[in-house]
Chain A
């Protein structure tokens, strides 16, 4: 019940299109970077180097990595507070993200935003938003801007199964379809809104149908299989770029860690988590396919090592970079 359903059945029972070896390797590398980064962030939180809230993305890596593979330069991404993975997938620098987590001047927001508030105009990443559901209206606004300017960019607004119950989500759905805005709503259904299981919070648990009353097409996707995510992303992107309006993708995924760092996780069993990790881990799936395709252990270890180096360097930077200057207190309130 509580593990991500095998959604592949719903897409005509066929398995997703195969990746090329290059795509598999890229997916593996990008997902590993997120996982190792998040593990390191959890560790730094445990050491007290990161304060406040810290929501880890471990387990959900295939969603953002697969979606990113379907996008082109100029497309925009916006998400909620579980955002480190999205930033890394957009190509933001690990040092800058980690230093923001530790509240240092080299962080993306000069240490003034923290885990939930980072942005990159360069990478078209629009945050990092701490109010559940707010990014859905904002992401619709990004699509509005694309429509207004008449370019062919698409915006991707990520939100969770919890946020999917917020009122402004449906206000946004209505306007997006009414005005045919190029926005992909990616609902990351990780089965729990903080500690509340989907079944205890949602009258309609098929999130791909949440746009039905606005005539927005939706699809359930196996969010643990990066190939399925990419294929669904391609379909949604094509729909949006063709001027047909918004598209909803329900990514069935799973978060291995607690909601935030101080979550005792009493709402689910350890066995449940272990089963998903064992049966459906998005990274292991790719690794196993690569090994079956005769990619050597040594090559995979080299990717591991490269990723660990990036992550360790970011942790080192984030702990040694100075805190923001006291004068920064007063800057950036107004332009």
Chain B
């Protein structure tokens, strides 16, 4: 049967075009790949290549015709052995239903209409977090620095699973730029504790590629400031592959290292990336405060089958805390912890923000304000339930973060409170955050740029109308 050549769509948005020129005449032989015509779109003149072989039977749209709709038959090609007499047998143009479907699928989602009337998909599934593991009464506690808790978490997981390895700059021979990987090289050897060149983009990609085969890399960034060089691999390769592969190929990998402000290292080495990563579906984002949480959550992160961003804090590395002496202390990802119970105002923070929040709660108590302090621990998936339950009780909320306020995690928390507990609020949610400037070097300016316990006290009193 003769083959119809249709007016092609030469760009994702093309609906019609001008048939500028025929380069083949009726009766000429056509091979697959031959340019048979030129078509002008609003953007450019394009060539039409034949995808079928035979003889050009009949030109249906003469050259010079303007505004030919996509999918209009423009010519017929006769296959070997067919003659002009077969032309009558050419199939009719594709059913309009097909064209209709195509036109619809090409209009941008929600164009010209409010998003709310877009075809309804089932609601996004809500993550349900498990409670912390029970620590049996009488369990011995070890006093450890956060740095040691992290090292123990990695060592325990590396003993447990030969697919776990750690790579990064200075993680092996130097024993870690911040001594977090101290002793790992001695125990596990250079095959599993790998010093990389200074090449963040490259080794992040190598880690993700290894994870795609089922290995479980722990990629240490000397600081998350340097991970900006690698953020393409983290987001485009690690976070999206499971979805893009229809669930076929995932990536179990931990990216960890110090995040946020250190001390006196100025703008390029003092930035909080919590809100950046917490924006990305496909990533889990953890930012603990206590030594026990650092240990239990890093173990959970290493076991998790998804890419996990584990944000540590340099200022906290040397802080000590009580860690349960258990063989396998794993804290579920996605569950906040009530660090201090109270009934007058909810203060919500994580990582080093907790330092200001807890200090402020002590101060507030002196004035008779009992603050409930929530340590989020995980930022994605966020434990909305714990936040909302607290706000329903207190009617007031203050968020505390070292990062910038605009599009920050505090902004997200405030939005969720508004969405789920608007009627319970007795005051607008207040945000305490890093100031909207690059981090200054001078000691006094740096102090001003960061949040403080005093600012948290002030915000809490403001929402309590005190």
Q: Which A residues lie at the B interface, using CB under 8 A?
A: 35-36, 39-40, 42-43, 45-49, 51-52, 58, 76, 78, 103, 107-113, 117-121, 126-131, 134, 136-145, 148-149, 167-168, 171-172, 174-175, 178, 256-257, 261-262, 264-266, 270, 277, 326-327, 329-335
Contacts and interface: CB of A to CB of B under 8 A. Distances in A.
A159 B124 CA distance: 37
Contacts of A167: 201
Given A131-B232, A332-B242, A142 B213 contact: yes
A46 B191 CA distance: 51
Given A131-B236, A330-B121, A335-B247, 7 more contacts: A47-B8, A109-B246, A112-B243, A126-B249, A148-B210, A171-B205, A172-B205
Given A126-B209, A141-B207, A48 B246 contact: no
Contact of B206 (A43, A107, A172, A256): A172
A324 B206 CA distance: 32
A40 B125 CA distance: 39
B202 A121 contact: no
A117 B11 contact: no
A13 to B, nearest CB: 31
B237 A109 contact: no
| Most chain A C-beta atoms within 10 Å of own C-beta, residue among B11, B205, B282 | B205
Nearest to A176: B206
Contacts of B105: 51, 103
B119 interface: yes
Given A49-B102, A121-B249, A126-B212, A134 B197 contact: no
A144 B44 CA distance: 45
Contact of A43 (B7, B51, B199, B207): B51
A266 B207 CA distance: 40
Nearest to A108: B246
B6 A46 contact: yes
A134 B232 contact: yes
A39 B33 contact: yes
A112 B241 contact: no
A170 to B, nearest CB: 8
A198 to B, nearest CB: 23
B245 A119 contact: yes
A48 B51 contact: no
| Most chain B C-beta atoms within 10 Å of own C-beta, residue among A39, A175, A256 | A175
A36 B204 CA distance: 38
Interface of B: 6-12, 32-33, 35, 43-47, 49, 51, 70-71, 94, 98-99, 102-103, 105-106, 119-122, 124-125, 165, 191, 196-197, 199, 201-215, 232-233, 236-237, 241-250, 281-282, 284, 305-306
Nearest to B249: A119
Contacts of B208: 137-138, 141
Contact of B201 (A40, A51, A168, A333): A168
Contact of A141 (B12, B199, B211, B305): B211
Given A47-B8, A48-B99, A333-B281, A264 B232 contact: no
Contact of A51 (B70, B106, B122, B245): B106
A109 B244 contact: yes
A178 B233 CA distance: 21
A142 B249 contact: no
A112 B247 CA distance: 10
A127 B242 contact: no
A111 B199 CA distance: 35
B303 to A, nearest CB: 12
Nearest to A179: B194
Given A127-B241, A333-B243, A137 B236 contact: no
Given A42-B51, A119-B245, A129-B237, A145 B209 contact: yes
A124 to B, nearest CB: 9
A137 B51 CA distance: 36
B206 A175 contact: yes
A334 B306 contact: yes
A256 B33 contact: yes
A334 B202 contact: no
Contact of B122 (A58, A129, A330): A330
B245 A262 contact: no
A137 B206 contact: yes
Contacts of A174: 197, 199, 202
Contacts of B11: 261-262
Nearest to A142: B209
A327 B121 contact: yes
Contacts of A58: 33
B120 to A, nearest CB: 8
A141 B245 contact: no
Given A47-B94, A256-B33, A331-B247, A175 B306 contact: no
A262 B199 CA distance: 36
Given A58-B33, A140-B205, A171 B49 contact: no
Contacts of B12: 51-52, 262
**Which 4 pairs across A and B sit closest by C-beta, in order of nearness?**
A141-B209, A137-B205, A171-B202, A46-B8
Contacts of B201: 137, 167-168, 171
B53 to A, nearest CB: 10
A168 B205 CA distance: 9
B306 A335 contact: yes
Contacts of A148: 165, 191, 210, 215
Contacts of B46: 262, 264
20 contacts: A46-B9, A47-B9, A51-B106, A76-B213, A109-B244, A109-B248, A121-B249, A139-B209, A141-B205, A141-B209, A142-B210, A142-B212, A144-B209, A145-B210, A145-B213, A171-B201, A174-B197, A175-B202, A329-B122, A333-B281
A322 to B, nearest CB: 12
Contacts of A256: 33
Nearest to B212: A126
Contacts of A103: 105
A329 B207 CA distance: 28
A268 to B, nearest CB: 12
A113 to B, nearest CB: 4
A259 to B, nearest CB: 13
